[in-house]
Structure 1
Amino acid sequence: MKVLGVLIISAFALTAAYEKAVPVKDMPAGKRINGRITNGYPAYEGKVPYIVALRFESGNGGWNCGGSIIGHEWVLTAAHCTYGASYVNINYGAVWRHQPQFTHVSSDMITHPDYDTGNLRNDIALIRTPHVDFWSLVNKVELPRYDDRYNNFYGWWALLSGWGATSDTSGMTDYLNCVDIQISDNSVCMDYYGSHFITENSLCYATPENKGSCGGDSGGPLVLHDGNRQVGIVSFGSADGCLSNGPKGLTRVTGYLDWIRDHTGISY
């Protein structure tokens, strides 16, 4: 019994050594942020024509996320954004969040059936939309090819974009911002959060300069500089806040290409 007690205590201590992960939309922002999507830079009109601003509504209130256009009738986002929502307002072609080119409303949301609210696994969702025509300010982002499904992308540079919070009191920013990040080895997030949150279907990036996503950026796209394909969906970060220097986790899109294809018919 003493040995069992020691093992239980040791296991608890090992679990407690990891930091808690929370959905990015729920991360505390802190009051020292001076750069929107956390130390990023303003986007120019048309730089990220695939991003959409999402406002979800339910009987218990609403929340903001980001998403990406992947087809004429489809938006890709995080499951923790669609979970519990009754409908969503989709703003297209916006640089100023409240001044989109046009808006659609949808209640047709497909949350991954194995999404786990406890460990944020399978944090991916689809939104079916009315048909959208593409042009310079509103366009789709391509997904990875099937040839890339086993590519870990470690060391690759990619673009994050969104309207994430700038402080505890200001809420989301009105202007779209971007940040360039380098994808890390998953071990960086594994050492921080543990295997409870990090799986082969995760992507990770370190934040030594506090650059990255913050509250309101959930569901937004991570798009490779080389090839302009979306490989990640903003998922979670440290409960200590956006300025904690904790690495951030994303849903790895290559782990869900079959699921996306089965629902949308989109594949490369």
Structure 2
Amino acid sequence: MKLLVVFALTLAYASASVLHGFNSLEDDTNVGIIHGHNAAPGQFPYQVQLISPEGLQCGGSLISHRWILTAASCTEHFDNVTVHLGSIRRSAPRVTYIVSKKDIIIHEDFNRYTVSADISLIRIPYVKYSIHIKAVKLPKIKRSYPSYDGCNANITGWGRTSFDSTHEPEILQYAKVGIISIKDCKKKFGKLGKYIWPSLICASIVSAETWEGDTGIPLVELRSSVQIGISSVDSPKPELEYPAIFTRVTSYLKWIKRHTKLPL
């Protein structure tokens, strides 16, 4: 959410709490996405909360009546995961499922040390759509895809907003971020830029950023309302202001279709 030791260690430490880039500003009046806003009921009906048996929190997105998309780093070590759907309130989901390991599909190429294929699917019992529960749109399979450079996108999650916060928010938070090119992202990471693969997507942290508990949350382009990313890689040091890193959804559409049979 690496042969270079610093990068490897910082990426390996967490399976459900991944740290992205930071700026120096903090908003201690909120708890959730840093510089985020409270979501309204039904505003993000695709949002999913995932909780491990140990109580670690991740995010995800509903992509059909039976499937959830999240990060592999959220699911790789657990025998089961609790799925919450249908509410902006963390403590009051409308639908709850406990999903066993047999219904969790982790990409076969996932490697947390090389930042590759951090993507996972969770099969759930059929869930009925409503104003509070509805799948996010995914890109369609094509010969080529837009880079999304310069586009704006929403991030949504229940992660912490304050760097020194010790608890999660009650209300779902959302914020707008800007997509930056892989070339510019590599420059931001300096020597670590060689580990920014084309299968990743980078977002500027000038206006908002993710924090602990936001691994697996969706990155949804504002113009098309299509999910283009999955929150993935942590940043080695907050003060260096690295961009936020997401798994690029278009790089894995065929994999998603193969396992879900969705008409992508």
Corresponding residue to 2:171 among 170, 175, 178:
175
- Asked if structure 2 preserves the Cα contact closer than 8 Å seen for 1:156 and 1:182, the reply is yes
- Asked if structure 2 preserves the Cα contact closer than 8 Å seen for 1:106 and 1:129, the reply is yes
Look up the SS of the partner of 2:17 in the other structure. helix
Ranges in structure 2 where 5+ consecutive residues have no aligned partner: none
Task: Work out the CA distance in 1 between the residues paired with 2:171 and 2:177.
Answer: 20
Task: Work out the CA distance in 1 between the residues paired with 2:105 and 2:193.
Answer: 26
Over alpha carbons, which structure has the higher Rg?
1
Q: 1:17 to 1:190 in 2, by over 3 A?
A: farther
Matched letter for residue 146 of structure 1: I
Which 4+ stretches in 1 moved above 6 angstroms?
16-20, 28-31
Normalising by structure 2, what TM-score? 0.86
- Asked if structure 1 preserves the Cα contact closer than 8 Å seen for 2:6 and 2:236, the reply is no
Matched letter for residue 65 of structure 1: C
- Asked if structure 2 preserves the Cα contact closer than 8 Å seen for 1:78 and 1:219, the reply is yes
Counterpart in the other structure of 1:200: 198
Question: Is 1:27–2:24 an aligned residue pair?
Answer: no
- Asked if structure 2 preserves the Cα contact closer than 8 Å seen for 1:188 and 1:206, the reply is no
Q: 1:239 to 1:94 in 2, by over 3 A?
A: farther
Shift of 1:236: 1.4
User: What is the RMSD of the two structures over their aligned residues, measured on CA atoms?
Assistant: 2.5
Shift of 1:217: 0.8
Matched letter for residue 65 of structure 2: H
Task: Work out the CA distance in 1 between the residues paired with 2:119 and 2:85.
Answer: 20
Deviations 1:192-229 (A, max 9, x none): 443553111000012134x1211101101011111211
Task: Work out the CA distance in 2 between the residues paired with 1:72 and 1:149.
Answer: 27
Normalising by structure 1, what TM-score? 0.85
Corresponding residue to 1:75 among 54, 68, 72:
68
Deviations 1:39-69 (A, max 9, x none): 1111111110001110022xxx341100000
Corresponding residue to 2:41 among 29, 41, 45:
45
- Asked if structure 2 preserves the Cα contact closer than 8 Å seen for 1:237 and 1:246, the reply is no
Matched letter for residue 27 of structure 1: L
Sequence identity (%)? 31
- Asked if structure 2 preserves the Cα contact closer than 8 Å seen for 1:55 and 1:65, the reply is yes
Give the count of matched residue pairs.
Answer: 250
Counterpart in the other structure of 1:213: 210
Counterpart in the other structure of 2:136: 141
